[in-house]
Structure formats: structure tokens, C-alpha cells
Amino acid sequence: MPTIIDGKKTSAEIKNEIAARVKEIKAAGGKVPHLAAVLVGNDGASQTYVGAKVKACEFVGFESTLVKLEDNVSEEALLKTVEEINENPDIDGLIVQLPLPKHISVEKVTAKIKPEKDVDGFTPANVGRMALNWPTYVAATPYGIVELLKRYEIETSGKHCVVIGRSHIVGSPMSILMARNDYPGNSTVTLTHSRTKNLKEIVKTADILIVAIGKPEFVTADMVKEGAVVIDVGIHRIEDASKKNGFRLIGDVKFDEVSAKSSAITPVPGGVGPMTIASLLYNTLLSAERKVYP
């Protein structure tokens, strides 16, 4: 039986650890961490994500500010809002919920966020610091994966890690983190993408397989080496009439057959997904305690 890497449980543990630290800070008369989230427009999914982030702040005892802007807000006005939050000494962390409306440049907005407050870890400065293995805010999904590997004491040194997908938010940072001289890390990394030849053969040599391809149940048992550690980042809604809400969630990995061959695996749901909010809270705490930029 493989170890099921439980992101829901781990995320709850991290939140409790953060809540305990906030209690200590409050007891010592220190500054309560404060996260500001900017939400543009009325996209249902974005509202749900931001709502969950605000609720998580309440749970751990952080202060939070939610700035809601209309769908048709100008790029200039959004940049100004970011600047105001940048300059507000009471706010430790700033996130701008993505996606943004088409008339607004994500690059411009990201570049405007002060690296010291960039708790999403998206600014070039913080991505660069991650690549250099300097203290930084690691982006939510890579942070979640690293933390799961750590807490489940997965050996990574000298292992062959294959990453499927090279997105800026998951695959690329994971390949950097797994190759750095640290724990987790010290793996020999192969980063694959849509132009990769012989993908199946490469994947079959993975001791650690990180899948962020965005294709439902793409990885099947015949692609996976016996005893591999499998991290499934994918998340897809599949219609399912037997469910109350009419759908179920599946990953990029065919869980039932791949889990039978793996030594450890993240389920979907309940694997990587729940870790993302914990990471945001953790980065905000790092910022409030000046651990990244002293």
C-alpha cells in the first residue's frame, strides 16, 4: 500500500502552527500579520478563492483587507491601488487575484508589487531569489509540494525527478527547487513539456514524478516505475450524476492504477490543492516577521 500524502491534514497542521505563532506574537505585543487581497471583477471562481483566503486569515488570527474593483477598472487605477498597498506600513502581504481582465497587463501589475510584500512569490525578484536558493516567498503550489515532501520525509537526494509541464507557476519552479543543493532537492531533474520526445520512456525512469500537465488522468500505470513517488498537481471537474453537486474532481494521474505501483502519492482532491492557502499564510507570516527581507 502506498503512503497517501495527505494535503488536507498537512495544511490543517500548518494553519494550526501559524495560529499558535500569531498567539505568541499577540501575547508579546507584536504586530499582527496583515494580508491584503485585490479582486478585480465578479468571476465566481476568483471570488471563492479570495473568500477562502480571507477566511483562512481569520482562522489563524491575521488581519485582512479585501479590495474589490470593478471589471472595467483601468490598468492605471489598479496599479495605483497596488502602489497604495505597497506604501501602507500596516500591510505585510499583497496578492492580486488572477486572472485579470484582458485589458490589464498581468506583467505590469506583478512588476508593481513590492517584492517585500509579494507573498504569492510571483515577482521577478522573488523568482530570482528562489533560483539562487536565497530566502524568498516560494509560490503557493511549489511551496505546497516542497512542504509535503518534507513533512512526509521523502528522500530526494540523488533521485531522478521528472516534472511534466513547464508553467511559470508550477513546473518550472518545481524543476529549480528539486535541483537545488538543499532538502528537498539534490535530485537529478528532467523537465518535460509538449515538445518532449519519448515522454513515456522518460517518465518511466522517474523516482519522483511531479505532474502538472493539465490533462485529466494523463499518467497511467504503464508509464510509472514501481515504487515511484507521484505528486499530482492537476485538478479537473468531471461530470458525475451520482454526486450531489453533479461533478467529481480528478487529477492528471489515473489514481487507482498508479497508486497501486507507487510508494507514495498525492490524491485529488486532498493532495496538493489544499496546501496553497497554507503557503499564502506562511509567506505572510514570514513577511510580518521580516524573515525574507530583514
Residues with catalytic function = 53, 97, 120
CA distance 38 to 85: 10
CA distance 102 to 191: 30
Q: Facing residues of 3 across strands? A: 264
Residue 291: partners with Cβ closer than 8 Å, 6 or more residues away: 135
Question: Strands 208-211 and 247-250, how do they pair?
Answer: unpaired
Q: Find the binder of ligand NAP among 33, 121, 165, 184 (CB under 6 A).
A: 165
Is position 233 an interface residue for ligand NAP (rule: CB under 6 A)? yes
Is position 199 an interface residue for ligand NAP (rule: CB under 6 A)? yes
Q: Which amino acid makes up residue 36? A: A
Is position 197 an interface residue for ligand NAP (rule: CB under 6 A)? no
Q: Find the binder of ligand NAP among 160, 193, 204, 261 (CB under 6 A).
A: 193
Which three cell numbers mark 13?
497542521
In this chain, which stretch among 80-88, 109-117, 164-172, 257-265 interacts with ligand NAP, using CB under 6 A? 164-172
Q: Which amino acid makes up residue 232? A: D
Q: Facing residues of 162 across strands? A: 190, 209
CA distance 27 to 259: 45
Q: Which amino acid makes up residue 246? A: G
Select 136 or 192, whichever has its Cβ closest to ligand NAP. Answer: 192
| 8, 10, 57, 251 from 269: Cα distances, Å | 9, 14, 22, 8
Q: Answer yes or no: is 235 a known binding residue.
A: yes
Least Cα distance to 70 among 93, 95, 38, 92 occurs for: 38
Is position 167 an interface residue for ligand NAP (rule: CB under 6 A)? yes
Is position 269 an interface residue for ligand NAP (rule: CB under 6 A)? no
Select 109 or 170, whichever has its Cβ closest to ligand NAP. Answer: 170
In this chain, which stretch among 57-65, 123-131, 231-239, 282-290 interacts with ligand NAP, using CB under 6 A? 231-239
Considering only residues 14 through 43, tell me which ones interact with ligand NAP, judged by CB under 6 A: none
Q: Find the binder of ligand NAP among 94, 210, 212, 223 (CB under 6 A).
A: 212
Select 181 or 194, whichever has its Cβ closest to ligand NAP. Answer: 194
Largest CA distance in the chain: 58
Q: Answer yes or no: is 185 a known binding residue.
A: no
217 Ramachandran zone, left/alpha/beta (phi>0; psi -120 to 50):
left
Radius of gyration of the chain (CA): 19
Q: Find the binder of ligand NAP among 86, 88, 105, 196 (CB under 6 A).
A: 196
In this chain, which stretch among 12-20, 128-136, 201-209, 233-241 interacts with ligand NAP, using CB under 6 A? 233-241
Q: Find the binder of ligand NAP among 4, 79, 98, 235 (CB under 6 A).
A: 235
Select 57 or 212, whichever has its Cβ closest to ligand NAP. Answer: 212
In this chain, which stretch among 47-55, 106-114, 149-157, 186-194 interacts with ligand NAP, using CB under 6 A? 186-194
| 67, 86, 189 from 93: Cα distances, Å | 13, 9, 32
Residues that bind ligand NAP (CB under 6 A): 141, 164-167, 169-171, 192-196, 199, 212-214, 233-235, 272-273, 276
Annotated binding site: 165-167, 235
Annotated binding site for NADP(+): 165-167, 235
